[in-house]
């Protein structure tokens, strides 16, 4: 059994990760748009804006559609976990982290503020 400390409403508790059920919520959807080959949608079918922004950065940096799909699938797994453990503000946090990540311009990485 894998047990980790978990925060819930300010209280410290424990979560049994073996018993955790992660539903197949959301999806990575292929589009017909050349500038946005894939998008991640939430359980209600809405586009996850923070992931769209990240995938747009990859597209602008010349990353292939298969690379974008791979990242989108990884992020889908991450979001499914966060939805399963009911983490509030997931989109806000991912958007915040995206602001601090390096941007790709051509083959050169540009750090924020630089």
Q: Which carries the bigger pLDDT value, residue 65 or residue 114?
A: 65
Asked if residue 112 is part of any domain, the answer here is no
- Pairwise CA distance, residues 20 & 85, whole Å: 8
How many C-beta atoms lie closer than 10 Å to residue 76's C-beta? 19
- The per-residue pLDDT for 64 is 94
Asked if residue 113 is part of any domain, the answer here is no
Asked if residue 17 is part of any domain, the answer here is no
Range of the domain at 30: 25-107
Asked if residue 81 is part of any domain, the answer here is yes
Task: Say if strands 27-33 and 36-41 run parallel, antiparallel, or are unpaired.
Answer: antiparallel
- The per-residue pLDDT for 4 is 44
- Pairwise CA distance, residues 48 & 35, whole Å: 17
pTM: 0.64
DSSP string, 40-90: EE-TTS-B-HHHHHHHHHHHHTT--HHHHHHHHHHHHHHHHHHHHTT-TTH
Asked if residue 2 is part of any domain, the answer here is no
- The per-residue pLDDT for 59 is 92
Asked if residue 74 is part of any domain, the answer here is yes
How many separate domains does the chain show? 1
Question: What are 1-35's pLDDT values in tens digits?
Answer: 344 444 444 544 566 767 777 778 899 999 999 89
- Pairwise CA distance, residues 19 & 1, whole Å: 8
Asked if residue 10 is part of any domain, the answer here is no
Asked if residue 15 is part of any domain, the answer here is no
Question: What are 75-99's pLDDT values in tens digits?
Answer: 998 888 887 777 766 666 666 656 5
């Amino acid at each position: 059994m894998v047990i980790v400390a978990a925060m819930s409403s300010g209280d410290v508790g424990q979560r049994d990760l073996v018993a955790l059920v992660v539903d197949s919520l959301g999806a990575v959807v292929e589009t017909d748009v050349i500038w946005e080959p894939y998008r991640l949608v939430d359980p209600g079918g809405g586009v996850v804006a923070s992931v769209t922004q990240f995938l747009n950065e990859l597209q602008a940096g010349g990353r292939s559609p298969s690379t974008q799909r791979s990242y989108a699938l990884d992020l889908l797994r991450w979001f499914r976990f966060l939805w399963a453990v009911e983490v509030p503000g997931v989109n806000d946090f991912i958007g915040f982290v995206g602001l601090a990540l390096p941007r790709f311009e051509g083959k050169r990485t540009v750090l924020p503020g630089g």
